[in-house]
A and B are shown apart, each in its own frame.
Chain A
Amino acid sequence: MQLLFFGSIQEELNMTDIELNLNASNLGELKSYLEKEYSFLQEQPYTFAVNEELVRDLNHPLNSGDTIALLPPFSGG
């Protein structure tokens, strides 16, 4: 799966995206992995988008070809 990072998360990680070979069956498993790997995410408010759609349900199933974005709070306008 491909991960995309935006805003303050992108700045903190100093990368825009990463290809991840992770056996995560749902969004919750990915979230646990990410927060262990990048501990600042435990304190950082963010939401997920899967294939360009906002997903709040952590039971949302994931497939290996998915594009998952980590989105900090929006501040456009």
Chain B
Amino acid sequence: MNIMKSPSGDLGAIKSIFIQGPIPMEEITHWLEHHQSKTKDGAHDLFLGQVRADEVEGKVVQYIEYTAYEEMANPVYQQIANDVISKYKVSCIHTLHSLGKVESGQWSLAVLVSAPHREDCFAACRELVERIKSELPVWGKEVFEDHTTAWKENTKESTVHHD
């Protein structure tokens, strides 16, 4: 889902950031191609979240089954994107999150931030990813080779200040 800053600084309303199944490569290349005409941007930061084949008590994760409270998650995402775009000098944000089955090695989250300069681009992308992971009502259930399951737990890799 694409959010662009209008000349007045407002954001367009998003429909949904969710996509069924893994995020396809074509979606990412489509985003990138689309930006080659945006010559005021000097930086793009792309984050891809990939399902790891984690080993838990001798069993390896085969895929993650994602579910979400979509009616809540989309407005929460919209708020996060609004915050980020008003805090940093960025021109455009694209975000997709998977629902359903995503196998290890496949992508479940994609965030592309475009900006005139790299400093705001890196910072905005980092903050978006951290807030998406901690604030969106989304759940991942890890499914192992023997079909047993475990509810995924997110580790906090950094502290992001929202102000």
From B69, B72, B129, B154, A75 is in contact (CB under 8 Å) with: B154
The reply to whether the CB of A72 lies closer than 8 angstroms to some CB of chain B is yes
Fill in one digit per residue for A44-57: 1 if any B CB lies within 8 Å of its CB, else 0: 00000100111000
The reply to whether the CB of B97 lies closer than 8 angstroms to some CB of chain A is yes
Q: How many residues of A contact B (CB 8 A)?
A: 18
Contact A76 B140 (CB under 8 A): yes
Instruction: A6 to B109: give the CA distance in the assembly, Å.
Output: 20
Smallest CB-CB separation from B109: which chain A residue?
A: A77
The reply to whether the CB of A61 lies closer than 8 angstroms to some CB of chain B is no
The reply to whether the CB of B100 lies closer than 8 angstroms to some CB of chain A is no
The reply to whether the CB of A30 lies closer than 8 angstroms to some CB of chain B is no
Fill in one digit per residue for B121-163: 1 if any A CB lies within 8 Å of its CB, else 0: 0000000010011111111110000000001111000000000
From A10, A54, A71, A75, B140 is in contact (CB under 8 Å) with: A75
Contact A49 B132 (CB under 8 A): no
Instruction: A74 to B154: give the CA distance in the assembly, Å.
Output: 7
- Name the distance in Å between B93's Cβ and chain A's nearest Cβ: 16
Smallest CB-CB separation from B153: which chain A residue?
A: A75
- Which of B68, B139, B140 gathers most chain A CB within 10 Å? B139
Contact A76 B72 (CB under 8 A): no
The reply to whether the CB of B116 lies closer than 8 angstroms to some CB of chain A is no
Instruction: A7 to B108: give the CA distance in the assembly, Å.
Output: 17
Contact B69 A76 (CB under 8 A): no
* Chain B residues within 8 Å of A76, by CB: 66, 68, 97, 109, 132-133, 136-140, 154
Instruction: A76 to B70: give the CA distance in the assembly, Å.
Output: 12
Contact B153 A73 (CB under 8 A): yes
The reply to whether the CB of B33 lies closer than 8 angstroms to some CB of chain A is no
Contacts A7-B151, A74-B136 given: A52-B72 contact, CB under 8 Å? Answer: yes
* Chain B residues within 8 Å of A74, by CB: 133-139, 154
Smallest CB-CB separation from A75: which chain B residue?
A: B152
- Which of A52, A54, A72, A75 gathers most chain B CB within 10 Å? A75
Contact B75 A75 (CB under 8 A): no
Contact B151 A6 (CB under 8 A): no
From A11, A52, A54, B71 is in contact (CB under 8 Å) with: A52
Contact A77 B129 (CB under 8 A): yes
